[in-house]
A and B are shown apart, each in its own frame.
Chain A
Amino acid sequence: MLALLMVILPLLFAAAAPILRKRPLALYSLLPATGVSLCLVLVAGLLYPEQDLFCLYLGGTPILAVDAVNRFFLQLIAGLFLVISIYTFFWLPAAQEHNPPRTPGTRTMHRYLFVLFMLVFVSMMNLSILSAHFGLLWVAIEASTLASAPLILFHCSEASLEAMWKYLLLCSIGIGLALFGILLLAFAGKISACPPASLGFADLSAPGVIFHPVWFKIGFVFCLVGFGTKMGLAPFHSWMPDAYSEAPAPVLALLSGALLNCCLLAVMRTLNLAPEAVLPFCRTLLTILGMLSVLVAAFLIIRQKDFKRMLAYSSIEHMGLCALLLCYCQAALSTHVIAHAICKMMLFLLAGNILLAYDTHRINSVTGMFRTLPRTACLWLFGLFAICGTPPSPLFVTEYLLVTTLPPLLAILLLVLLFIVFAGMSYACLSMTMGTPAPDCHERQTAQAAAEQLTIVPGAAALGLLILGYITVLWMKQLL
Chain B
Amino acid sequence: MNELLNLILGALLVLNLLLVSASRLRHCIKLVAIQGVLLGLLPLACAHPADGHTWQFLLVMFLSLIIKGGLLPYLLLYTTRRINVRRELEPVVGYSLSLLIILALTGGAFWLGSVVPTAVAHGASPLVLPAALSTISTGLFLMVTRRKAITQVMGFLIFENGVSIFGTGMMIHNGLLVELGLLLDIFALVFIMGIAVFNINRSFRHIDTHSLNALGD
Contacts and interface: CB of A to CB of B under 8 A. Distances in A.
Nearest to A178: B163
Given A159-B214, A186-B172, A198-B175, A179 B196 contact: no
B166 A142 contact: no
Interface string B139-170: 01001000001001000100110010011001
B61 to A, nearest CB: 17
A2 B188 CA distance: 27
Contacts of A61: 175
Interface string A58-98: 10010100000000000000000000000000000000000
Contacts of A168: 189, 192-193, 196
B122 interface: yes
B172 A212 contact: no
A215 B196 CA distance: 37
A35 to B, nearest CB: 25
Interface string A278-306: 00000000000000000000001001100
B215 interface: yes
How large, as a class, is the contact surface on chain A? 35 or more
10 contacts: A61-B175, A133-B174, A135-B182, A162-B213, A162-B215, A165-B209, A173-B140, A180-B163, A183-B163, A300-B217
Contacts of B1: none
Contacts of B216: 242
Interface string A163-183: 111101100110010011001
B156 A169 contact: yes
Given A164-B196, A165-B212, A176-B159, A135 B178 contact: yes
Nearest to B122: A191
Nearest to B197: A165
> Nearest 7 pairs between A and B by C-beta?
A135-B178, A139-B181, A135-B174, A242-B215, A162-B212, A191-B119, A142-B185
B113 to A, nearest CB: 12
Given A156-B199, A242-B215, A214 B170 contact: no
B176 to A, nearest CB: 9
A228 interface: no
A63 B196 contact: no
Nearest to B213: A162
A352 interface: no
B181 A180 contact: no
B188 A143 contact: yes
B116 to A, nearest CB: 6
A309 to B, nearest CB: 7
Contacts of A259: none
Interface in A147-171: 149-150, 153, 156, 158-159, 161-166, 168-169
Most buried by B among A149, A179, A304: A179
